[in-house]
Structure 1
C-alpha cells in the first residue's frame, strides 16, 4: 500500500490557529475526512469528503477504498497526539504509511487564555471516561487539565475533585468554543464551578 494517511491537527478549530503545513495538506487533498464542522470550514469543491461520526466501521470501509487510489487527509481537532483518531488509524491500517502534522491542542490554548504555563501539568480526559484516582489526587501546587463531555462537564468534575480531597477554594477555569467567535471562558473556584451550567465540550483547568 503506497498511499498514505495524513493525520492533520487543526488545533481548536479556528483558521488562525492551524499550522500552514496542515492547511496545505487539507487544501491539496482529494480525499478528506473530518468532523462535520471541520469539513464545513475547510473542505473545498472537488474534494471527496467523509464525516467522522460514531460509526467507525463505516469510516474504515471508506478509507480502505480511498487509500487504494490516493493519499487521504484525516483532520483531527487539537493535536493528533492527544486523544485523537491516530491510534485507531494505526491499528486499523497497520501497513499504511502515516504522516502526522501537529496542531495546537485545545489544552495549550486554554492555559494561554487564562495566562498560565502548562509545564508540569497533567493532561487528562473526562470525555467518555474517568481518569484513575491517583492521577487526580490532590497535591498542593498541582495543575490538571481535562477534556470534558456533556455528562462529565466542569460542574461534575468540580464536585468529583472536591469529593476526592481538593479544597473547594481551588482555582478553576472552563473554556469552550476556543478560537471561535462564541469562545467563552469562566474562571472561578471549584466550589463556584459546581453550579456552572453547560461547557459540555470544553477544557477545564485546575490549579491547586
Structure 2
C-alpha cells in the first residue's frame, strides 16, 4: 500500500517564512527528504533522511521504497509549484499520492521587499535553464521577475536583456540572500549592471 508524499514548500530560506502546515508536516515526518541546508535546519533525531543532490533518480527510488511503509515528506525551497522537484514527482507517482503545501517563493519575497505588486509581471527562471526570447521580450511598462544562478547572473542577464531591446536605463533591482540577516538589495539599471561585478543566486526584478 502506498502512503502519501507531502511536498512542503519551505520558503526563501529563513525558517520564519515556513507556513505552520509545512512545519507541522516536517516535524511529524518519519522520513524526510530535502537539500542539505533544509535537512540541517529542520531534521531531528529519529527521522530517516535522504539528501537531494544531483542524482534525482536515486531520490525517487528512495521515496518509492519508503512510501510502501510510511508517509514521506519532501522539502523544496520556495514554492513547490515553481521549478521544483514536484515536476519529477508528478511524472513518477500518481497524483492522488501527492499532497502539496505551498511556500513563500523568493520571487514573492523580492516583490514584497520592493513594495511592488506583481500581478502584471512576467516570471522566468535562469536557474539551470535559459528562457525563450519571447518570455523576455521588451514592452513599454513591462515588469520581469527572474531567478538567477551562478552562470546566469545579474551581469550576463542584463546584457542579454539589452540585446533583446530593453533600454539600458531600465530599472533593475538585484535581490540576494532574501530573508537572511545578510539580505541585500541593489537598486541599479540594466546598463550599469551589465558592466558591474556579477551577483548570482538571487532574484532580478526589471521594470521598464
Q: CA deviation at 1:196?
A: 3.8
TM-score (norm 1): 0.96
SS in 1 for 2:188: strand
Residue segments in structure 1 that go unaligned for 5+ positions in a row:
none
Verify: 1:48 aligned to 2:51, yes or no. no
> Within 5 Å, which residues of 2 pair with 1:6-155?
6-94=6-94, 97-155=97-155
Q: 1:96 to 1:53 in 2, by over 3 A?
A: farther
Q: CA deviation at 1:96?
A: 5.9
> Within 5 Å, which residues of 2 pair with 1:188-199?
188-199=188-199
Size of the aligned set, in residue pairs, is 208
Residue segments in structure 2 that go unaligned for 5+ positions in a row:
none
Query: Is the contact made by 1:5 and 1:96 (CA closer than 8 Å) also made in structure 2?
Result: no
CA distance in 2, matches of 1:85, 1:190: 32
Residues 28-53 of structure 1 show CA distances to partners (whole Å, capped at 9, x for unaligned) of 00100111111111111111111111
CA distance in 1, matches of 2:28, 2:193: 44
> Could you tell me which residue of structure 2 aligns to residue 201 of structure 1?
201
TM-score (norm 2): 0.96
Query: Is the contact made by 2:26 and 2:42 (CA closer than 8 Å) also made in structure 1?
Result: yes
CA distance in 1, matches of 2:52, 2:136: 31
Query: Is the contact made by 1:2 and 1:96 (CA closer than 8 Å) also made in structure 2?
Result: no
Q: CA deviation at 1:62?
A: 1.1
Q: 1:195 to 1:45 in 2, by over 3 A?
A: farther
